[in-house]
Copies of this chain bind each other. A is one copy, B any other.
């Protein structure tokens, strides 16, 4: 049992595991002479942000202007908003750029026209390159578009070209560490070719890459200047299944009261559903689904995932766990069990607060 009392679903954070995850990634960055610019979209918490400072983090990544404002208020003064510029927030961007070193992502020439017309202070500009995820960005061999953007940037004194940035979202479709390595090396090749091509014109040009699977698994970063993983601070079931972490490195678990038991089908119903965990899901080849792994809560945290036990469905507030006949009797009405989330970023975003193993509340950005 946890040392603290839980009445409703609560997101339990193991600070030691989280700090170990931060140290490990900060060390890897240092070893490879990379700027460590962790993505704070996962934890969204000023207080957890301070833990990163303990390991000499000075620059961060966020995914929205709102989030940049929140962390700027906590003293972060070098922030990249790793999301295509939303020109409707130009006033907020101006306010931020007056106070901190702000980097923006450009994928569209139209965006530059607006920035040129309205920006009052200098910002750094990364050109977003699509190295295979096909979400957004310019294809690395689309020389015409890249040159078009670079040309426009040269006539805008407030838009300082910093380099090329990519997010290899396709690493999440990989089935193994080997496939992640293939994705990673493709990204390295694409980015390094761009650096080669443009370094004479832009000697300071930097390459920014990296998500949690590639940064956790890989040890090749030749030519890269900066990494921006985020999820690694907590990890989750998806990362464990990709091979990016071990289960005992996952730093958050949703504590859920048990409210019903169905012996005829070895099912347990918990108070904990889509409004707590999100509907992110792992689909198995046999058609079954996993909305989270089930752990026992202990006074020092939680166990490894229980065998033959799976959160098979969630609705708004309910979760249904299927277990084995052998394990069924360990689940009792009113007990609290833990769920390791499939996708910790979305679970944290929903829960809006962490509870440490000692019962402290850690606040997050309110939106």
The answer to whether B350 touches A41, judged by C-beta atoms less than 8 angstroms apart, is: no
Question: Which residues of B sit under 8 angstroms from A169, Cβ to Cβ?
Answer: 315
Inter-subunit contact A260/B320 (CB<8 Å): no
Cβ-defined contact, B316 with A63, below 8 A: yes
Question: How far apart are the CA atoms of A317 and B108 in the complex, in Å?
Answer: 18
- A205: CB under 8 A from chain B? no
A86 at the interface (CB under 8 A from B): yes
Interface range on chain A: under 10, 10 to 19, 20 to 34, or 35 or more?
Answer: 35 or more
A65 to B259, CA, bound (A): 13
Chain B: which residue is nearest A275 at the CB level? B349
Whether A259 and B333, one on each chain, are in contact in the complex, defined by CB atoms closer than 8 angstroms, is no
- Chain B nearest CB, measured from A239 CB (Å): 15
Q: B108, A316: Cβ atoms under 8 Å?
A: no
Within 8 Å by CB of A108, from B84, B87, B260, B281, lies: B260
Q: Is the CB of A66 within 8 A of B265?
A: no
Q: Is A345 an interface residue (CB 8 A)?
A: yes
Within 8 A of B (CB), among A61-79: 63-66
B41 touching A316, Cβ below 8 Å = yes
A241 within 8 A of B: no
> Is A8 among interface residues, defined by CB-CB distance under 8 A?
yes
Q: Quick check: B318 and A135 within 8 Å, CB to CB?
A: yes
Q: Which residues of B contact A316 (CB under 8 A)?
A: 41, 63, 345-346, 349
Query: Closest residue of chain B to A280, judged by CB?
Result: B279
CB–CB B135/A320 < 8 A: yes
Q: Is A274 an interface residue (CB 8 A)?
A: yes
Chain A 325-355 interface residues, beta-carbon cutoff 8 Å to B: 332-334, 336, 345-346, 349-350, 352
**Residue-wise interface mask of A (244-281) relative to B, using a CB-CB cutoff of 8 A (1 in contact, 0 not):** 00000000000001011110010001010011001111
Would B88 and A334 count as touching, CB distance under 8 A? yes
Given A257-B88, A317-B83, A349-B275, verify A269-B7 contact (CB < 8 Å).
Answer: no
Q: Name the residue among A114, A259, A261, A332 with the largest chain B CB count within 10 angstroms.
A: A259
Does A182 belong to the interface (CB within 8 Å)?
Answer: no
State how many angstroms separate the Cβ of A130 from the closest Cβ of chain B. Answer: 9
Closest chain-B Cβ to A174's Cβ sits at a distance in Å of 16
Q: Which residue from B84, B262, B279 sits with its C-beta under 8 Å from A136?
A: B262
A167 to B35, CA, bound (A): 54
What residues of chain B lie closer than 8 Å to A86, measured between beta carbons? 7-8, 257, 259, 271
Q: Distance in Å from the Cβ of A65 to the closest Cβ of chain B? A: 8
A150 part of interface (Cβ distance < 8 Å) = no
CB distance from A212 to the nearest CB of B (A): 13
Given contacts A110-B333, A274-B278, A346-B316, contact A134 B265 (CB under 8 A): yes
Report the Cα distance A6→B86, complex, angstroms: 11
Q: Find residues 84-127 in chain A having any chain B CB closer than 8 Å to their own CB.
A: 84-89, 92, 107-108, 110-111, 114
| A135 B278 Cβ-Cβ under 8 A | no
Contact between B274 and A346 (Cβ–Cβ < 8 Å)?
Answer: yes
Q: Can you offer 8 A-B residue contacts whose CB atoms are under 8 A? A: A87-B257, A87-B334, A88-B336, A110-B334, A134-B265, A135-B318, A136-B259, A274-B346
